[in-house]
Structure 1
Amino acid sequence: MRPRSQEAGEFLREGIREAAFYLRQLHFVRNISIFNWQSGNRTVTGQPKDNMDTQVRTPQAVFMQPQRLLVPLFQRPYVWNEEMQWEPLWKDLVRVADRVIQKPLEAQLPHFLGAVVLQQMQSQAGDLQQRTVIDGQQRLTTLQLLLDALHAELTQAGAAVPAARLRPLIANDEAFRRHKEDQFKVWPTNRDREAFNEVMAAPPPVDYAALTHGESRMARAHAFFAEEAREWLFAQGVDAVSSRADVLERCARELLQLVVIDLTPTENAQEIFETLNARGSVLTAADLIKNFVFQRMLEQGANVEEAYRRYWAQFESPFWEEEVNVGRFNYPRSSVFLNHWLISQTGEEVVAREVFTRFKAYVDFQAGSTMIELLREIDRAAGIYRSFIEKADILEGPLDRLGLFAYRLQTMESEVVKPVLLALLDRPVDPLPAEELGRSLDIIESWFVRRMLIRATAKSYNKLFAEVASLVKATPAKAMAAALQSFFTTQTAETNYWPDDEEVRNELTSLPAYRRLGRGRLRMVLESIEDDWRGWRRGQTSAAGVRIRRGTYAIEHVLPQSWHRHWPLSSGGVELERDARIHRLGNLTLLSKKLNSTLSNGPWHGANGKAAQLQLNDVLLLNSHLLKEFGATTWDESSIDQRTEKAISTILSIWRVPDGHKVATARASETPSINVEIQDLMLAGSLSAGQTLHSPRGKHSGHTAKVLADGCLEVAGVTYNSASLAGIAVRKQRTNGWYFWRLEPGSRRSLNDLRNEYLRSLGQDVVTDDDTGNRYVRFWTQFSEGLTSAAGPLKPHKPAPQNWTALAIGRTGFWLSLFASPREDRLAVELVIDRDLAKTRFAPLRDQAPEIEAALGFELEWEELPGSARSRLRTVRRESPIEDESQWPTYITWLVERANAMASVLRDRIRSLP
């Protein structure tokens, strides 16, 4: 065991070496960081050109001195968001803090945040020192928002001393201020300046709703960090707040690191900026580890060429170089494997950004092996890893328990379980017997599938399964299944409990599975039911001897989604009750070939009926059992309920829990939908600045929109801050820009397709356009019937598959727009006044607001839309999710009454305006 001081010194040297790696990977090679490893005293040689200063610095070192870091006007505005940057940064900080709490006396490994490039500016004596931010303004701005939010929460929690230590990092002392804005350490672009200044200057507790720029990304970032900090500080009760405050503040100041490249005033900043952002070739974790491993082997006198050929060359083959999706990003499989291997070895959560750093720490302080021995271990684990991945891709024929487990977990995109699989399988000493392995996989799979079916949160899976990997590593083979069962049955938190039979049954009985579960996951569940009915049960082999072919069958509705023509309601039947059952498990089956719409929507009986078509697929018991039990009768709501109950019973049998298992965990409601903007797609790499979007074929073909660096769209030289406003500029009427703008000329692929892919990458369920459209057609059809019955001044239009409709207010030339928006959870009726008329029509109407609202009998929201010359007045009903079709009569009545009232009251007033 080496002394703490030696370990700390080693961490420092490794940090410098990582900085050098980073600089070289960015091709910043005019004279920077040429590596020369000397045995026993590894140093970095080579000096940057023009006295350029390159250091690894903490936020304390970056922000402590009085200064202003100025973001040039030409740089893009602040675009980081919660899903892609704020939440990962917060998790990184908390991960470091948790390690400090668990091992307070050990040398702590800092978390590396990346690089920033600054350039010194000439200033007069006595002026505040300034630097231009050449690269890294998003990172620096976010750090300021994080530190200020921490300061506010520490102050509110009574932790005055740690709060005081943060204060110099977020505000320049008054002695250095000549102007009010001199208090800020970072000075954003013009567009972001007001929002940044407002939230940073707001006294705690910050009332975000009262901020003028409360909806800006700056304010939202500040609010996110404040809420997360408050929750973390009080997580162990009031008594622990003081000690946790000290840890969190210390980690934010001292245990985050940046590579700071500080240019002299004479350095060519533009050349460097282009080098960093255009010609850089990012090294993967596998690249960095490879360099590290073989440099060490040279030091240890090993045969490097032989070791490379035997143990590493495989990682440069197509299988290992293939990029795989993990959460929100793509990584080479070799890097993902090394991440999973590290977790299996350490029993700790290791995020992708920390793989290289954590690998070095493992080698130096935990492995206890020579580098050649470690390479042999990695090689052995890689063979195991590749084996179960390839088994998951076997879609037909015999499959052992491990292969079936790998396939099912692959359909659920559950990468987090792979470190546990490695820990279970890579046991050269005390290997698991096949029976014990099977029981262990049964337990893990049941836990995963049951949580997927009830759509429980996956928020803490990475941390939980790192803990499971640690448990597996420490458990004797003969006790493995018992240990895993005990672990999962004793979990009580909402993020990790094992759902019992009652909860799963209650959830699936009314779950619209076709809409709520991803297609691959739903297909896997139906395949599993089919295999079970064929006799492939736990420890049993089917008499038929053949499993269903996996991943290829089409999911079909027995009672079609468009049922009105050929499937009349029985006497006393209720349309809403039938619609509620369309997407349930009992109404779904698998077919070898998807039926065309005519056959799919056809009647139950007859030569071309649905029953006859299913007969052609009777190789599947899902269909033959259905026909045997219900073929001679009418397939209706009762039939769906019976078959749903049978499917649920099979599911509970396939994915069992221990006898008597019950949980008493109150599960939170589903995670709300994520609001996606064009900037989010740009950050995810789906769109890029300068890319051209195209209008669809038809009446409006030939128009284009250019994607700008700040997420706006430019059409015919005019800038619009949303896709819909850009679409309105082309169509001259209300337009959903996500569906309007296409990625290629004549293509059907739209911005909405990119948005759905982004949402899926975040683990969000995405409802298909067909499902949504059918629901809206039914909703607006019922609305039209209600509007006609009311005999008011408005006349209905043909229902369309969208979340809005528009109604003309007589011959005034004005229209009312009606919205039924599940994403915003609201109903609304609004009058939008176009840009050409806004100045002459909106203000006079607003002057009459008291009289108008008195005549209506309800208040209106009067709004000038930001970023547009348009204005609107509207009435809104909150908390009206139209997914609950039982509430449609109430919602439709509200819309009809409000729309007719607004048309009646506004018609004459609009005509009287100049």
Structure 2
Amino acid sequence: MRAQEITFLKLVQGEKQFQVPLYQRTYSWGREQLKRLWEDVGELVDQHLSGEVVAPHFLGSVVLAPGQFQAGGVQRWLVVDGQQRLTTLMLAFTALRDHFGKSGDARGVDRVHRQILVNEFHEGIDRYRLLPTQADREAYTACIQSRADAGGSDNIGAAYRFFLGALAEGQEATADDRWIATVETVLKDLLSIVEITAESGDNVYRIFESINNTGVGLSQSDLLRNYVFMLLPKRGERVYQELWLPMQQSLGPKNLELLVWLDLVVRGHHKTKQSEIYRGQQKRLQPLAGDEDALQREIAQLVERGGRLLRIIDPRRETSPALREVLERLASWGGQTHYPLTLHLLDLVDEGSTTSNDAAEALLYVESYLVRRLICQTPTSNLNRIFMEAPKELETDRPAAEAVRRFLSGRRRRWPSDEELREAVRSKPFYWSGRPPQRSYILRRLEESYGSSEPVDFAKASLSVEHVLPQRPAASWFDLLAEETEPNQTPQELHDLLVHTLGNLTLTGDNAKLSNSPFERKQQILDSSALRMNQEIAAEKRWGKAEILARADRLTDRAVELWPGPIGGVKPAGEEWPGWAELRAALVAMPSGTWTTYGDVAELIGSHPVPVGTYLGSHPTVIGAYRVLTADGRISPAFRWADGADRPSPQELLMSEGVGFDPSGRARGAQRLSAAELATLLGKDVTQPASHDPLPEGEDAAAAERFRAQLQEHWPEASAGVLSVLDFWRVQGGYVTYGKHEETSCFPMLDAGTSRRPHLIWPLAIYPVSGTVEVVFQYLKDRTPFDGTEQRRELLNRLNKIDGIDLPEAKLELRPSFPVRVFAEHGEEICGVLDWFVHTAALDLAQRD
């Protein structure tokens, strides 16, 4: 085998084709991997534009083996390893080509297409420089050919859409005309790949197995330890026993690696990635080779920092009450984003450069910065970088708290003002912000601000977030909302704008009892609550728009006291409202063949349909703007393409993607993406209520009886069919479990694992009151064997052969639904699909064993 380091441009140039063998998995990179790659690209672009000397970024290796050769054809290479990187970069270049096209740069389009993507003098499959596995081929070629269905719901389409959005946002954020050209330079010439080529006749299957079945490699901290003690030939054993080993044992492997990285960051090496720890520390320590005293001091300093890291991880170790309290709050908040700044502040305390109280005040500003950004749904991009830069950038001639507040108040660091906070509490869907524990934390702190004489023990209380105005309200709730609707606004639209806002949310241990009950019933339950915020809600005479907004304002007053804002405390003039960036991201995230409404977008970003329409009307170049329709699924009469654009009508374009329209011009409802589905595509934690998902226990007789009674009451014609299908499921080896909500949902469960390693999967969720059956692709995509797009697509296609079921392919990562009444006449056909589901899962288990 032969190896060489090479740029991506040099790797792909020439009349060649990289074929991904059938034995490899389909393309599987998700949003997190794509974000990490793009952050690396962004850093290289910034360095290049600032005139720095830019070292190539090592992306990894690609292992190739000679493929079949035909005279006059392209040179074929089998991609033994590295197909994920190759495919990702090809999709990035495809998006770059199309970005050039949207900006009218025909030369850029031609250059990228011919240099990177295709063998221009060949036809058929020989034309493609990369040929993915057959399962991915259609989606990939749709992107290369710029077909209407490019950017579908699979991972290939999602990656293409991700890069389209990243390029559009990057161009929007910079006023530098060189930016897009620099992106092209970075992708072509500054991403380094090690090309490893096998000889003709080598067993490529054996190579693939050896690469992907190796033992556990050395961690970055293992490499550093080996290097350091190689430099300590005389006192290494003693230093290891007295210093390194106790530190290693107290921290554990993961935290030790975290410490070694934080040590570099706190020293000012804020651009160091966790994958480059060893190289960074080696470069720093190399000048000390031969000086064992100095090396021992370095290790002793690392041990001291390790003790401080343990105080961050486990605040009970902190002796200062003020500092311990705020460290406990940050630990409850979760995440490690703030660690570099927090560790630096503990360094200052232990060095005597600041007091514990001053550091505690500084960390209060850190907490406020994180909480306010979450409530305002400020994009988290650059958040890690901000905290990594902090130790180096803090002003040293000021008290620590003042320095931290001034640093975080910087113009581009986006610490929301009191005005922005008030606006967000009133309008943003807080229920989709951050992670569930962070939402609960904010509500808990707001409850604690009431200063009850008998505070709730939150550690013992089993509380969850409750919507006072229910997510699925009965008709009486809509009657109440109808009194407060604006002109041309329906009660449902008003409900959607209010239901997930902070003013409508509280904490309770009676979620199942409260459910979608009338407000009078909720008043009785909330009035007996020990939480002051619930008693306050119970004192209201009604619960509609006025009460929700009034409570939002009261909670904002408390939030401002709990979490002080930036210096100045006013909204920065001239800055774009972050909601518009979220709107653009949502439209890019929409798979081809889908549409949404102005109201759905407004609900997502915390706005109103009218300003959403105004924004899109004044920004006609926004990607995917043609996918936003009126509430009844029609093209808005006000829609216009950018001046001079010669393009098909929005309806023609949507139809070319596969969106159906009825004769009156209304788009097919099944292909509409709701606000919750848009949020899911953006990676927000849009959790169903816990009671809407399967309980961990087996079948419960009382819950089963409730389900049967509700089904019989609301859908008597489908009742026998549903119960017959559930009986069939049990015969196939599955079991049935139920939710604990007032509407007793039902889940046919299957354990496709072993006694030692359970692997629970379920295909459907049945709701007996609303009469909907959800197909839970959102969960299946994370569970084998349905984590592959082709298996979920097969499930969708089998279901769609049944009359009355019409699931759009664009929702293969969501929870599309069909009516429960389908069970009335098509129970046997549904049994056939479930039989296939069970056998597919069983086959996967046999292969894993």
TM-score, with structure 1 as normaliser: 0.57
How far apart, in 2, do the equivalents of 1:144 and 1:103 lie? 27
**Are 1:302 and 1:372, in contact at CA under 8 Å, matched by a contact in 2?**
no
Which of 209, 215, 224 is the equivalent residue of 1:289?
224
- In the alignment, is residue 95 of structure 1 matched against residue 43 of structure 2? yes
Q: How many residues align?
A: 635
Equivalences for residues 71-470 of structure 1 within 5 A? 71-81=20-30, 83-104=31-52, 106=53, 108-121=54-67, 123=69, 128-150=74-96, 153=99, 168-172=115-119, 174=121, 181-200=125-144, 202=145, 207=146, 210-211=148-149, 217-218=155-156, 220-229=158-167, 231-232=169-170, 235-237=173-175, 239-241=177-179, 245=181, 247-295=182-230, 297-298=231-232, 301=233, 303-314=235-246, 316-317=248-249, 319-321=251-253, 332-346=254-268, 348-363=270-285, 371-391=295-315, 400-427=321-348, 431-470=353-392
Q: Deviations over 1:734-775 (max 9, x none)?
A: xxx99655455899996589x9xxxxxxxxxxxxx9xxx9xx
Q: Evaluate the alpha carbon distance shift between residue 439 and residue 599 of structure 1 in structure 2; reply closer, same or farther with a 3 A threshold.
A: closer
Q: Secondary structure at the match of 1:225?
A: helix
Equivalences for residues 746-761 of structure 1 within 5 A? 751=761
Shift of 1:391: 0.8
- In the alignment, is residue 649 of structure 1 matched against residue 557 of structure 2? yes
Comparing 742-751 with 655-664, greater Cα deviation is found at 742-751
Shift of 1:316: 4.0
Q: Evaluate the alpha carbon distance shift between residue 354 and residue 171 of structure 1 in structure 2; reply closer, same or farther with a 3 A threshold.
A: farther
How far apart, in 2, do the equivalents of 1:222 and 1:602 lie? 44
- Which AA in structure 2 matches 1:651? A
Shift of 1:74: 3.0
Shift of 1:431: 1.9
How far apart, in 1, do the equivalents of 2:449 and 2:543 lie? 25
**Are 1:599 and 1:609, in contact at CA under 8 Å, matched by a contact in 2?**
no
Q: Evaluate the alpha carbon distance shift between residue 235 and residue 145 of structure 1 in structure 2; reply closer, same or farther with a 3 A threshold.
A: same
- Which AA in structure 1 matches 2:159? A
**Are 1:738 and 1:752, in contact at CA under 8 Å, matched by a contact in 2?**
no
- Which AA in structure 1 matches 2:249? S
How far apart, in 2, do the equivalents of 1:368 and 1:425 lie? 31
Q: Deviations over 1:611-640 (max 9, x none)?
A: 7743xx4xx6657xx48x977x86866887
- In the alignment, is residue 799 of structure 1 matched against residue 770 of structure 2? yes
* Residue identity (%): 22
Segments of structure 1 that go 5 or more residues without pairing to the other structure are 1-51, 322-331, 536-543, 681-693, 706-714, 717-725, 728-736, 756-768, 778-796, 805-820, 822-863, 879-894, 896-914
Q: Secondary structure at the match of 1:131?
A: strand
**Are 1:134 and 1:269, in contact at CA under 8 Å, matched by a contact in 2?**
yes
- In the alignment, is residue 661 of structure 1 matched against residue 661 of structure 2? no
Higher gyration radius (CA)? 1
**Are 2:143 and 2:150, in contact at CA under 8 Å, matched by a contact in 1?**
no
- Which AA in structure 1 matches 2:300? R
**Are 1:117 and 1:262, in contact at CA under 8 Å, matched by a contact in 2?**
yes
**Are 2:93 and 2:112, in contact at CA under 8 Å, matched by a contact in 1?**
no
How far apart, in 1, do the equivalents of 2:762 and 2:421 lie? 32
- In the alignment, is residue 523 of structure 1 matched against residue 445 of structure 2? no
- In the alignment, is residue 554 of structure 1 matched against residue 476 of structure 2? no
Segments of structure 2 that go 5 or more residues without pairing to the other structure are 485-490, 587-675, 684-696, 705-722, 736-744, 779-795, 811-818, 820-849
How far apart, in 1, do the equivalents of 2:331 and 2:245 lie? 27
2:2 corresponds to which residue? Answer: 53
Q: Evaluate the alpha carbon distance shift between residue 499 and residue 752 of structure 1 in structure 2; reply closer, same or farther with a 3 A threshold.
A: farther
- Which AA in structure 1 matches 2:444? E
Q: Evaluate the alpha carbon distance shift between residue 564 and residue 406 of structure 1 in structure 2; reply closer, same or farther with a 3 A threshold.
A: same
How far apart, in 2, do the equivalents of 1:103 and 1:655 lie? 39
Q: Deviations over 1:44-97 (max 9, x none)?
A: xxxxxxxx223333324422454332222333333334x033332222222222
**Are 2:800 and 2:807, in contact at CA under 8 Å, matched by a contact in 1?**
no
Q: Deviations over 1:669-695 (max 9, x none)?
A: 5564678999x9xxxxxxxxxxxxx99
**Are 2:753 and 2:760, in contact at CA under 8 Å, matched by a contact in 1?**
no
2:694 corresponds to which residue? Answer: none
How far apart, in 2, do the equivalents of 1:306 and 1:160 lie? 65
Shift of 1:446: 1.6
**Are 1:605 and 1:612, in contact at CA under 8 Å, matched by a contact in 2?**
no
Q: Evaluate the alpha carbon distance shift between residue 738 and residue 88 of structure 1 in structure 2; reply closer, same or farther with a 3 A threshold.
A: farther
- Which AA in structure 2 matches 1:53? R
**Are 1:738 and 1:751, in contact at CA under 8 Å, matched by a contact in 2?**
no
How far apart, in 2, do the equivalents of 1:403 and 1:479 lie? 19
Equivalences for residues 576-595 of structure 1 within 5 A? 594-595=509-510
How far apart, in 1, do the equivalents of 2:107 and 2:288 lie? 38
Q: Secondary structure at the match of 2:195?
A: strand
Q: Deviations over 1:762-792 (max 9, x none)?
A: xxxxxxx9xxx9xxx9xxxxxxxxxxxxxxx
Q: Secondary structure at the match of 1:140?
A: helix
How far apart, in 2, do the equivalents of 1:356 and 1:425 lie? 24
**Are 1:630 and 1:639, in contact at CA under 8 Å, matched by a contact in 2?**
no
Q: Secondary structure at the match of 1:334?
A: helix
Shift of 1:609: 5.4
Shift of 1:254: 3.4
**Are 1:520 and 1:551, in contact at CA under 8 Å, matched by a contact in 2?**
no
1:498 corresponds to which residue? Answer: 415
Shift of 1:421: 0.8
Q: Evaluate the alpha carbon distance shift between residue 126 and residue 271 of structure 1 in structure 2; reply closer, same or farther with a 3 A threshold.
A: same
How far apart, in 2, do the equivalents of 1:347 and 1:252 lie? 24
Q: Deviations over 1:692-712 (max 9, x none)?
A: xx999974458789xxxxxxx
2:407 corresponds to which residue? Answer: 487
Q: Deviations over 1:505-553 (max 9, x none)?
A: 3332466756767542233234323443439xxxxxxxx8x98645443
Equivalences for residues 569-608 of structure 1 within 5 A? 594-595=509-510
How far apart, in 2, do the equivalents of 1:554 and 1:217 lie? 38
Q: Evaluate the alpha carbon distance shift between residue 647 and residue 366 of structure 1 in structure 2; reply closer, same or farther with a 3 A threshold.
A: farther
Q: Evaluate the alpha carbon distance shift between residue 651 and residue 122 of structure 1 in structure 2; reply closer, same or farther with a 3 A threshold.
A: closer
Q: Evaluate the alpha carbon distance shift between residue 745 and residue 439 of structure 1 in structure 2; reply closer, same or farther with a 3 A threshold.
A: closer
Q: Secondary structure at the match of 2:449?
A: helix
Shift of 1:273: 1.7
Q: Secondary structure at the match of 2:463?
A: strand
1:840 corresponds to which residue? Answer: none
Q: Secondary structure at the match of 2:24?
A: coil
How far apart, in 2, do the equivalents of 1:362 and 1:456 lie? 36
- In the alignment, is residue 507 of structure 1 matched against residue 453 of structure 2? no
**Are 1:69 and 1:186, in contact at CA under 8 Å, matched by a contact in 2?**
yes
Shift of 1:385: 0.9
2:788 corresponds to which residue? Answer: none
CA RMSD of aligned residues (A): 5.5
**Are 2:419 and 2:571, in contact at CA under 8 Å, matched by a contact in 1?**
no
- Which AA in structure 1 matches 2:315? K
Q: Evaluate the alpha carbon distance shift between residue 738 and residue 507 of structure 1 in structure 2; reply closer, same or farther with a 3 A threshold.
A: farther
Q: Evaluate the alpha carbon distance shift between residue 866 and residue 356 of structure 1 in structure 2; reply closer, same or farther with a 3 A threshold.
A: farther
